[in-house]
Amino acid sequence: MSERCPFCAVDESRVVFRDDLVFAIWDRYPVSDGHLLVITKRHFADWFEASEEEQRALLLALERGRQVILERHAADGFNVGVNVGTAAGQTIPHLHVHLIPRFAGDMPDPTGGVRYVIPSRANYLKSRPSGIDLLQAPSSQSLLVRGADDPLLPHVRACLDRAASADFAVAFILKSGVALVREHLRDLLNKGGRVRIVTGDYLDATDPDALIDLMDLGGNLQLRVFEAGDTSFHPKAYIFYDSDGQGTAFVGSSNLTWPALQGGVEWNYRILRADADRGFAEVAAAFEDLFVHPKTRPVDVDWIDAYRERRGPVSAQRVVEVIEESPEPPPAPHFIQQEALAALKATREAGNEAGLVVLATGLGKTWLAAFDSASEEFLQVLFVAHREEILAQAMQTFRRIRPRARLGLTTPAKRNRRTRTYCSPRSRHWVARIIWASLPASSSITSLWTNSIMQRPVHTAA
């Protein structure tokens, strides 16, 4: 066991299942919904050091993990992967196997699958153009990030992981782009960092649901929009400030979308704060000017609602660089959840005002809470958990079921009075005091969910 290994000291609440040799957890930085890690209990580096018994246990756990995932998500396929060594991308020297659900349409062309570890060689069925190879990967020292073999996404993630603050200025944002950096942004915010993002409504290309996803992160995230009107709006810059006074900026062609960060040929020039030229300072000053520009205003739920109403579908003829993303449909309850939902409905119809649901780990209690409270009957929902990590996951679950709900996180230091779905730590009585103190006098809490308890309605606040 290594004291510094995150897999040797996993919080038991994160464990989906375990046996004598291996255990499984949900990946903290999921490639897709339901991304599962199967990990050996014994600490050693890679697959080739595992005993036959451990290898057999890993394979059996993958099958078990597949069943758990399919109970929660309607996956159309899976990628199974092991990274061996830093050259292959391994970052934690403790054997773990990735089980990644795949969904039809989750990327424009999935041909090649795991071959995308080297993107330009992934789709061997695609013909290659003759002439100059614009996709040739640059050296690691190059200041120009050109996409393909050298996409911008790993650079952005690495900079976020060591940053004390970050500023993004992008012409438009899609949900696919937010999903790629969400957990890295969350980590920065949880460390007390600041994130400022300016995007635009030019040609209505920005997805309002992507703005909601960013607002759900909470913390010191400041989101603003440049109301373009008749003005074209095309900035693309990512600026990172490190705690040691250094920093990195990327200025080029990548918006906050999957194709721009991961999937296409995009040129972005890297500017280092340590360099003697004025480039970094000029980029930083330009962002400050844009952030306080008279046409730039803060984004809130009211602005998003109004923007959504006037937006309509994005025209591919008007915005040739936008790939319109269809909203991912919410998953259907699996059979155990269906039985629980039917029992809860019958309990209410019988006149009962309280119900108790007990489910084993991995069977989807949070999804059950979201399914059960999705009815228009429940205008306000209180979800209670003892750890903020669970709450962050719960907010994503509720967002899938109620994409336009106003979600908020209330903690001892923060109270949100404008939300329709509440997430909060501490005990049930503590939460009730905070929520009743925070809500208008005319409000009522119509459903209270903990990790195993649902009450309707809440009559008293101790």
Q: Is residue 7 part of a domain?
A: no
**Of the candidates 114, 146, 176, which is a domain's last residue?**
114
Residue 437 within any structural domain of the chain? yes
- Which of the pair, 419 or 261, is modelled with greater confidence? 261
Per the domain annotation, does 158 fall within a domain? yes
- Domain range spanning residue 403? 335-455
The answer on pLDDT for 454 being more than 50 is no
Output the domain CATH number for residue 399.
3.40.50
Q: Which of 58, 80, 114 is the last residue of a domain?
A: 114
Q: Please check whether residues 33 and 66 belong to one and the same domain.
A: yes
Tell me the per-residue pLDDT of 93-125, one tens digit each, with 9 for 90 and over.
999 999 999 988 777 678 878 877 666 555 545
Supply the angle between the helices 301-311 and 208-215 in degrees, to the nearest 10: 170
Same domain, 275 and 394: no
Q: Are residues 166 and 283 in the same domain?
A: yes
Q: Which residues are catalytic?
A: 96
Secondary structure (3-state) at 324: coil
pLDDT for the residue numbered 253: 95
State residue 401's pLDDT score: 87
pTM over 0.75, yes/no:
no
Are residues 29 and 165 both part of a single domain? no
CATH code of the domain containing 18: 3.30.428.10
pLDDT tier at 433, thresholds 50, 70, 90:
very low
pLDDT in tens, 276-318: 567 899 999 999 999 999 999 999 999 999 999 998 766 544 4
Return the pLDDT at 2: 61
- pLDDT band of 402, cuts 50, 70, 90: confident
The total of structural domains in the chain comes to 3
Assess whether 379 and 275 both reside in one domain: no
Residue count of the chain: 462
- Of the two residues 209 and 455, the one the predictor is more confident about is 209
What's the rounded mean pLDDT across residues 406-420? 59
What percentage of the chain has pLDDT greater than the value 70?
Answer: 78
- Quick check: is 320 in a domain? no
Q: Is residue 57 assigned to a domain? A: yes
Task: Answer yes or no: is 329 within a domain.
Answer: no
Answer yes or no: do 214 and 162 share one domain: yes
The Cα 80–Cα 78 span in angstroms is 6
| Together in a domain, 248 and 361 | no
- The per-residue pLDDT for 268 is 95
* 365, part of any domain: yes
Most distant CA pair in the chain: distance in Å?
A: 75
Residues 210 and 298 in one domain: yes
pLDDT at 196 over 60: yes
Confidence (pLDDT) at 319: 53
Long-range contacts of 403-406 (CB under 8 A, 24+ apart): 403/209, 403/212, 403/327, 404/212, 404/308, 406/301
- Same domain membership, residue 215 and residue 94: no
Those residues whose C-beta lies under 8 Å from the C-beta of residue 409, and which sit 6 or more positions away, are 218, 388, 391, 395, 416, 422, 423, 424
For residues 300 and 345, membership in a common domain is answered with no
Q: Is 126 within a domain?
A: no
Report the distance separating Cα 462 and Cα 459, nearest Å: 10
Q: For the segment 129-170, what is each residue's pLDDT rounded down to a tens digit?
A: 444 344 444 444 578 999 888 899 999 999 999 999 999 999
Asked if 83 and 93 count as a contact pair (C-beta separation under 8 A), the reply is no
Model confidence at 461: pLDDT above 50: no
Output the domain CATH number for residue 279: 3.30.870.10
| Same domain flag for 143 and 96 | no
Same domain, residue pair 303 and 427: no
